[in-house]
Amino acid sequence: MVNLSEVTTHLQNDIPIIRAMGIELVAWDGLRVAVAAPLAPNQNHADTAFGGSIATVGIVAGYALLYLIFLERQISTRILIQKSATDYLRPIDEDMTATATVTDAAMLEEFLETMKRKRRARMEIESRIICRNATAATHRGLFVAMVY
């Protein structure tokens, strides 16, 4: 069983800006992760969320999805991001949540199989950044994981 509060502390210790942004893992069901971030530390000049924070929350959701997949399977890996793309759809004027989901179980199996065979594999992960129950931004990340 994964303890999300422990994983949050671990990520915040590893990556101090995650702590500065107040990003926390709040839900995980084996295929879908949710991370939350408060508005205050992530505000911009217009009292909405800053674009850099929104992109980062999207990246962290994708990173956390892979991190938890490997943690549950006790595979020790290094995860890096190769490409990140954010579309900003509407202003975020409240706390935000980002979710990242394995939409295709077969793709996950193939990814894990490639990891076993080649010791590295790539996966594109989409995150949705939600505020007031509406999608306010989307993020696509291309991640590479390497057996460590």
Told to check if 107 binds a second copy by CB under 8 A, we report no
> In this complex, which beta carbon is closest to a second copy, that of residue 29 or of residue 121?
121
> In this complex, which beta carbon is closest to a second copy, that of residue 31 or of residue 88?
88
Q: How far is the CB of 1 from a second copy (least distance, A)?
A: 22
> In this complex, which beta carbon is closest to a second copy, that of residue 26 or of residue 81?
81
CB 80 within 8 A of CB 144: yes
Distance CA 94, CA 101 (A): 23
Block residue for tokens 């179980």: 105
Q: How far is the CB of 106 from a second copy (least distance, A)?
A: 27
Q: How far is the CB of 6 from a second copy (least distance, A)?
A: 15
Helices first, then strands: H and E counts in the chain = 4, 6
CB 98 within 8 A of CB 128: yes
